[in-house]
Structure 1
Amino acid sequence: MTLGRAVMLFAGSMVILSAILAWQVSPWWLLLTGFVGLNLIQTSFTGFCPAAMVLRALGLKEGTGEYR
């Protein structure tokens, strides 16, 4: 799995987890969805992704034209 695919998998998982927690526990969990969305927007403009830094440190390989 490349770094870009892992970042998308992580972001999608966080959105789904947040929606489930908002439904089952508290609507305040929707703040997590908002945070993930804002981070995706920020990453699209700057190319800087904190999740990519963590996943890279865990040993995932980069593909061509992926996040910094």
Structure 2
Amino acid sequence: MSIERIVFAVAGAFILISLLLAHYVSPYWMWFTAFVGLNLFQSAFTGFCPLALILKKMGKKTGPAF
């Protein structure tokens, strides 16, 4: 799996998990959802993604996202 697909999968999982936590535990988990969304938004313009840097250092290969 390429770095791009891992980033998409992790971001999607974080969003779904935080939405479940906001529904069942506390609405404050929506702040985590907003953080993930903002990080995805800024990475689209800047190209900076902390998870992508970590995965690259771990030896994962980049590839076409679509």
Aligned CA RMSD, in angstroms, stands at: 1.3
Matches within 5 A, 1:33-48: 33-48=33-48
- Aligned residue for 2:22? 22
Matched to 1:5, the amino acid is R
In 1, Cα distance between the equivalents of 2:38 and 2:27?
18
- Aligned residue for 2:63? 63
Query: By how many angstroms is 1:14 displaced?
Result: 0.4
Name structure 1 gaps, 5 residues minimum.
none
**Identity value in percent:** 48
Name structure 2 gaps, 5 residues minimum.
none
Query: By how many angstroms is 1:57 displaced?
Result: 2.3
Matched to 1:46, the amino acid is T
- Residues matched between the structures, number: 65
Normalized against structure 1, the TM-score is what?
0.87
Normalized against structure 2, the TM-score is what?
0.90
Matched to 2:43, the amino acid is T
- Aligned residue for 1:4? 4
